[in-house]
């Protein structure tokens, strides 16, 4: 749940990364990366949706570069893998006034059930 971990930061920053797949999570070379600006007050749920959508064109660019033989790959950074957030982190996020989900998120989820 990277959006929750990002919200726990003093100044949250969000982005998407396309990695080469290897057995260990997030350890493969970075094939593409992009920072995504999100409005203040974005919930973790809305941030996750926005990041997934931002990842689609990035993935298309990476696949095109791989097909053309022009893709570049950089070593992954040394950031640790962040597991499911523990209760203390969730409390810290809430104390900063940041939310995981709100009514609009629930409406979008409900509406998606009725969309073919």
What's residue 74's pLDDT?
Answer: 92
Pairing of strands 14-19, 30-36: antiparallel
Question: What's the CATH fold of domain 2-114?
Answer: Rossmann fold (3.40.50)
Span 76-108, pLDDT tens digits: 876 677 888 999 999 988 998 888 888 988 888
Which residue from 111, 94, 85, 112 is spatially nearest to 4, judged by alpha carbons? Answer: 85
pTM of the model: 0.79
Span 35-83, pLDDT tens digits: 999 998 899 999 999 999 999 999 999 999 999 999 999 988 766 778 8
Q: Please check the confidence at residue 115 and state whether its pLDDT lies above 70.
A: no
Domain ranges of the chain: 2-114
């Amino acid at each position: 749940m990277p959006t929750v971990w990002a919200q726990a930061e003093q100044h949250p920053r969000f982005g998407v990364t396309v990695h080469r797949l290897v057995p260990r999570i997030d350890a493969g070379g970075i094939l593409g990366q992009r920072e995504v600006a999100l409005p203040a007050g974005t919930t973790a749920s809305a941030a996750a949706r926005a990041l997934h959508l931002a990842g689609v064109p990035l993935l298309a660019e990476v696949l095109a570069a791989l097909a053309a033989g022009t893709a570049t790959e950089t070593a992954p950074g040394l950031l640790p893998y962040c597991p499911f957030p523990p209760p203390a982190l969730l409390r810290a996020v809430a104390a900063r006034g940041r939310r995981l989900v709100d009514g609009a998120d629930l409406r979008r989820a409900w509406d998606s059930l009725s969309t073919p």
